Amino acid sequence: MHKSASNNLDKMGLSLILQRSNAVWHFPVMIIASFLIFLLIIRLVIGKTKFNEKLKLVFILSFLVVAVGMLFGKYGAQAGLKWWIYYPVPMLMTVLLPPIILKMNTQKTILYLFLSFLSAPVIHAFFSFFLGWTEYMPFWNIPYMGEL
């Protein structure tokens, strides 16, 4: 077999293993990815100086908004909470807490809201297309590249 074809098969094999393996660890990976994206958004919005000055607060806020919010959404749904509880609570945490706690002005708040609303579909598109993990936003079907 040609060497590049063999490498492509090896890459596909690894990708299929990642996609088809036990999905239990997908959620923690998605939390970490979301946490890093959230930090990047906050850094872009408030600037390097303010980000560094408020680093401890930013990390606490990031943990609350991302980790607690995602855990509440996932386990709230599994615990049988109504959708109007398990979905809006994390969303409201994401929308309200950063601008209030970090004292963002109107311009920074608008930029933050734009980037934060954009981040979830981008994260979902990445995990769905490249790894075949569809649970981040299961209602939005994006084909897995290995099945195209």
State which amino acid sits at residue 113: L
Q: Is the pLDDT of residue 133 over 60?
A: yes
* pTM for the structure as a whole: 0.81
Q: Sorting pLDDT into bands at 50, 70 and 90, what band is 34?
A: very high
pLDDT tens track for 63-103: 999 999 999 988 988 898 898 898 899 999 999 999 999 99
**What CA–CA distance (Å, rounded) separates 135 from 79?**
17
Q: How many domains does the chain have?
A: 1
Full residue range of the structural domain in which residue 137 is found: 3-147
Task: Kindly report, residue by residue over 100-124, the tens digit of the pLDDT.
Answer: 999 999 999 999 999 999 999 999 8
Alpha-carbon distance values, 97 to 64, 100, 101, 104 (Å): 9, 5, 6, 10
**How far is 78 from 16, CA to CA, in rounded Å?**
27
In Å, what is the CA distance from 2 to each residue of 5, 7, 8, 71, 148?
A: 5, 9, 10, 46, 22
| 130 residue type, one letter | F
Report which of residues 52 and 73 the model is more confident about.
52
